Chain A
Amino acid sequence: MHELSIAMSIVELAEEEASRRGVQIEAVHLKLGALAGVVKDALLSCYEMACDETPLQGSRLIIEELPVIIFCTTCQAQHPLNSIQLFCCPKCGTPSDLIVQGKELEVVALEIKECAPNPA
């Protein structure tokens, strides 16, 4: 299981951004491709553990799962795969290993707490 070390990298990365910007983090938004080799549920439970005793304790991890998208040379178009067990164009059946999307493991945004009282 490598989800814990991945979760720790996420926490580390978010912590770095937070301290650099002087903000407190409420949630971390992550894009997770179907081919990233990371299991969503395992990552979610490891995230909590990784946050323990860090400034991110109590923060949430919000995961957006991305399907695999291939480029089909016959259709000359991009299509999402129906299953990662079959790398064939879902429209015309042409095999394809041209992966356009699906390997992402990316922190895309941080939700931060407003520390200063709202002037409004």
Chain B
Amino acid sequence: MRPEPRLIEVRKNVLKQNDIVARTLRDSFHAAGVFVVSLVSSPGSGKTAFLEKTLTLLRPNYRVAALVGDLATENDALRLARSHAPVKQITTGTLCHLEAAMVQNAIQEEHWDLNQLDFLFIENVGNLVCPSSYDLGEDLRLVLISVTEGEDKPLKYPTIFNSADVAVVTKMDLAAAVEFDSQTAHKNIQAVRPGMQVFKLSAKTGEGMQNFLNFLSKRLQELRPTPVT
């Protein structure tokens, strides 16, 4: 007779290693007072265009930097560098998402002094599936959808939308041409992440960007409360 299998209890989080590095990163970001935003979306939704605009508009008043994950090319890093902000490319090779250790290594390789930064942006690999499981130590996870990809993206990828903190609907300059239904999109976002703040904008025309920049300034202020005098 086959003996009863013996079960031993373990209880171990599979992503523990990533979570530990992410926590270390988050602690060092907070200690330095830098507000960290990660961006996720489908390939081609407009992360790089939106980030280039954001960096360009923030740079006169804030110290900004960006990390950008890409499977193979350096194109995005070159585009972002046009904003004159420090930019570092993370080539992920075959890996379809960034992990906390890659962020940590990139910051160390560049010798970035976090104390000298106000905002750090991290563009994830274009992918609405894999990045959802990996904490990067960010304060804010921003999910983008463009008006050209349909209103039902949130329902198709509820996990990543649920894991995000704010949503950006971009390429609004094309909304009329593709008959984008703003209300349905909003409803779908709220269905998978009740209460999530949504910014509608165009990285091309700059429409709606100011709202988003105001939001960022406010969040930075909250991170660094002015001492009570």
Within 8 A of A (CB), among B2-33: 3, 5-15, 17
User: What is the interface of chain B mostly: helix, strand, loop, or mixed?
Assistant: mixed
List the A residue with the shortest CB-CB distance to B127: A2
Chain B residues whose CB sits within 8 angstroms of the CB of A110 once the complex forms: 7-8, 10
**Stretch among B53-61, B185-193, B218-226 lining the A interface:** B185-193
Asked if B14 contacts A105 (CB within 8 A), the reply is yes
Asked if A27 contacts B5 (CB within 8 A), the reply is yes
User: What is the interface of chain A mostly: helix, strand, loop, or mixed?
Assistant: mixed
List the A residue with the shortest CB-CB distance to B10: A107
Asked if B8 contacts A5 (CB within 8 A), the reply is no
Bound Cα distance A42, B81 (Å): 38
Asked if B14 contacts A10 (CB within 8 A), the reply is yes
In the complex, B174 has a CB within 8 A of chain A:
no
Asked if A37 contacts B159 (CB within 8 A), the reply is yes
Asked if A108 contacts B194 (CB within 8 A), the reply is no
Q: Is the interface on chain B under 10, 10 to 19, 20 to 34, or 35 or more residues?
A: 20 to 34
Asked if A35 contacts B14 (CB within 8 A), the reply is no
List the A residue with the shortest CB-CB distance to B194: A95
List the B residue with the shortest CB-CB distance to A111: B5
In the complex, B171 has a CB within 8 A of chain A:
no
Chain A residues whose CB sits within 8 angstroms of the CB of B132 once the complex forms: 37
**Least Cβ–Cβ distance between B130 and chain A, in angstroms:** 4
Within 8 A of B (CB), among A73-110: 84-88, 95-97, 99, 105-110
* Interchain CB contact (< 8 A) of A106 among B3, B14, B130, B155: B14
Name which of A5, A17, A113 has the most chain B CB atoms within 10 A of its CB.
Answer: A5
Asked if A84 contacts B133 (CB within 8 A), the reply is no
Bound Cα distance A7, B17 (Å): 14
Asked if B194 contacts A13 (CB within 8 A), the reply is no
Chain A residues whose CB sits within 8 angstroms of the CB of B43 once the complex forms: none
Chain A residues whose CB sits within 8 angstroms of the CB of B194 once the complex forms: 87-88, 95-97
Given contacts A87-B193, A106-B14, 11 further A-B contacts (CB under 8 A): A2-B130, A30-B14, A35-B159, A84-B159, A85-B155, A85-B191, A87-B192, A87-B194, A88-B194, A106-B11, A107-B10
6 smallest beta-carbon distances between A and B, as pairs: A95-B194, A37-B132, A37-B133, A2-B130, A111-B5, A84-B158
Q: Which B residues have a C-beta under 8 Å from some C-beta of A?
A: 3, 5-15, 17, 95-97, 129-130, 132-133, 155, 158-160, 162-163, 190-195
Q: Which A residues have a C-beta under 8 Å from some C-beta of B?
A: 1-2, 5-6, 9-10, 13, 17, 21, 23, 26-27, 29-30, 35-38, 84-88, 95-97, 99, 105-114, 118
Q: Can you list 9 contacts pairing A with B, beta carbon distance less than 8 Å?
A: A1-B130, A2-B97, A35-B163, A84-B192, A95-B195, A97-B194, A105-B133, A109-B8, A118-B3
